[in-house]
Structure 1
Amino acid sequence: MRNGGLGFAAMLLLAACSPSSEQSASEQAAGNASANAAASRYADRMSGTPQPPPPAKAFALAEKNDFLEFAYAYPGQAAAIPALVDKFGKEAASAKADALKMAKDDSAAAKKSGFPFRAHSLDRKWSVEADTPRFLSLESQTYVYTGGAHGMTGYDVVLWDRARHRETSVKALMTTPAAFATAIREPFCKELDRQRAEKRGAPVVRGDDPFTQCIDPMAEVIVPTSKDGKLIDAMTVVVGPYSAGPYAEGSYDVVLPIDAAMRKAIKTEYQDGFAGK
């Protein structure tokens, strides 16, 4: 069987090297590459070479009844890590149970008072913000509606350290939260005001209105992000509605590229996962 498999692979290689005269050079090259890859895969299978597992599939759950519309999702990168699958599975079950109980209680209270009941909603979706050799950074966006004038959106972050095979926290990366806060305070306030001005159509002028003041970035959700998938190259401070402006302004994503001051505020043992020097 093993000799036969290799013989079949050789036939594929020969076929790849014998294109018809009507084929263009690019078609010939593409055909050769495809045949060579197929032959290599077949030979590996026949010789017992271990094959990489198929990519994990993203998870998505959506359910709806008279009380609650519920959805929960996370990407394939998280599905490939058993600890995160367990974490998110428990989180989804707990969140659904709590939301359903609240909706049923609200329905019963509305019926008793003679008011109409509006079905509740809970939708949580995790997305990849950085997928590097060292870190997998996930951000969640959660929309909650409990029958009021409008729903609310919240955010969270999960950081997986691939080198240590465990979940960690963003603050655990810092030498101290105070040192990191000092490093990001000025660029954060500058970028937040730039985005505020863009949304409001006028420069931000400090005053008694709290929405003209800078806020504490350390009190918000800080998400490590990466553009190229090689290193963490920025920290994004995710500011939810009402924190930096009225509800109508929505949320703010304040992207802070890693600079020397920020890198210095990261513990030495984690710096290999960050851009800059």
Structure 2
Amino acid sequence: MRVLFLTPLVLLAACSGEKPPAPAPSTNAPVAAPMPPEPPVQTPVTAREVHEKNELYEFDYSYPAAAGAVPELKALLDNELEEARRELKAQATEGRKAAKESGFPYNPYTHTVEWKVVTDLPAWISLSTLVGFYSGGAHPNYVYDTVLWDRIAAKRRAPVDLFTSKEALRGAIRARFCEELDRQRARKRSGSGRGDIPEFSDCIDPTEQTVILGSSNGKAFDRIGILVAPYAAGPYAEGDYEVTLPVTQKVLDAVRPEFKAAFVAR
């Protein structure tokens, strides 16, 4: 038989007809943590991206938030966007008219620009892009472009203008550039049956290609990129070439005095 033991307090409540008081909440019960305050709403600096497609042309143009955060640079890129779109529309209109007069089918023209950050330094921002286009030829093509923005002067500069002259920069990088270019050529051509291609066997002038400035430490420029579009160093089938070179003391010696602080030799 089960025996029920009642405490005096329970017996007293039973005799008086009153309900026993509710037990006090345990001090060991978990307490819900207060909700953290909502973070302040911030309006992010967004990149601009434009896509336009119709029967006449297809146009794409974009740039990253880092570029959009610099008002003068944003204005420059916005102006280039509108100019590129106007030119594409005019060329496509003329191309469609010519195709109709000749009795040929018309294929819409295209223009594509996607700016990307090469490096973002306290005093500089370096961008590069592949500009793709089709204007009625046998196949689409592309070239490279770059923007080097001087934050202090609030202006665009050509990378080669940071050096005393094109000749000085060429003399500082040509040997290494040619060596790397030939190495890449050999890799692309091995097993292809092409071997040496007479018209694409000599070295080319690196300063006549798209020169970009980069950084591995986020503090100063310590490398130079040479972007080579199709047909410049090889046939279209080989595509482009990209050669990256370190900033050596020889390169540093070719930098203009007022820009030397922006570079460091590796």
TM-score normalized by the length of structure 2 = 0.80
The CA distance in 2 between the partners of 1:112 and 1:181, in whole Å, is 48
Distance in 2 between residues matched to 1:184 and 1:222, nearest whole Å: 11
Alignment of 1:1-277 (within 5 A): 55-201=44-190, 209-276=198-265
Higher deviation after alignment, 190-199 or 166-175: 166-175
How far the C-alpha of 1:230 sits from its partner, in A, is 2.1
**Cα distance in structure 1, aligned partners of 2:133 and 2:98:** 19
Amino acid at match of 1:107: R
1:15 — aligned with what? none
- Tell me, in whole angstroms, the C-alpha distance in 2 between the residues paired with 1:152 and 1:185: 26
Cα distance in structure 1, aligned partners of 2:114 and 2:231 = 21
Residues 55 and 80, structure 1, Cα contact 8 Å, conserved in 2: no
Aligned-partner SS, 1:195: helix
4+ residue stretches of structure 1 with deviation over 3 A? none
Secondary structure of the corresponding residue to residue 167 of structure 1: strand
- 1:95-126 alpha-carbon deviations (Å, 9 max, x no partner): 11111111111112212222111111111111
Q: CA deviation at 1:166?
A: 2.3
Which SS does the other structure have where 2:164 is aligned?
coil
Distance 2:116 2:151 in 1: 17
Shift of the alpha carbon at 1:164?
2.6
Q: How many Å apart are 1:80 and its aligned residue?
A: 0.8
SS in 1 for 2:115: strand
Structure 1's unaligned 5+ residue stretches are 1-19, 23-30, 43-50
Question: 2:146, 2:263 → 1: CA distance?
Answer: 18
In structure 1, give the amino acid aligned to 2:79.
Answer: K
Q: 1:207 to 1:141 in 2, by over 3 A?
A: closer
CA shift digits 1:182-228 (9 cap, x unpaired): 001101101111111111127xxx97812110001111110001233
Q: Which residue of 1 aligns with 2:24?
A: none
User: What residue is the counterpart of 1:45 in the other structure?
Assistant: none
AA in 1 matched with 2:132:
Y
Residue 107 of structure 2 aligns to a residue in which SS?
Answer: coil
Asked if 1 retains the 8 angstrom alpha-carbon contact of 2:160 and 2:207, the reply is no
Matched residues in 2 for 1:208 and 1:108: separation? Answer: 39
Q: Which has the higher helix share?
A: 1
- Which deviates more from structure 2 when the two are superposed, residues 53-62 or residues 98-107? 53-62
Q: Is the 8 A contact 1:56 1:80 kept in 2?
A: yes
Q: Deviation at 1:177?
A: 1.6
What CA distance in whole angstroms lies between the structure 1 residues aligned with 2:255 and 2:44?
32
CA distance 1:186–1:268, shift in 2 (3 Å):
same
- Give aligned pairs, total: 233
Q: For the residues of structure 2 that align with 1:131 and 1:244, how far apart are their CA atoms?
A: 29
Please say which structure displays the higher CA radius of gyration: 2
Note the residue ranges of structure 2 that are not aligned, 5 or more in a row. 1-27
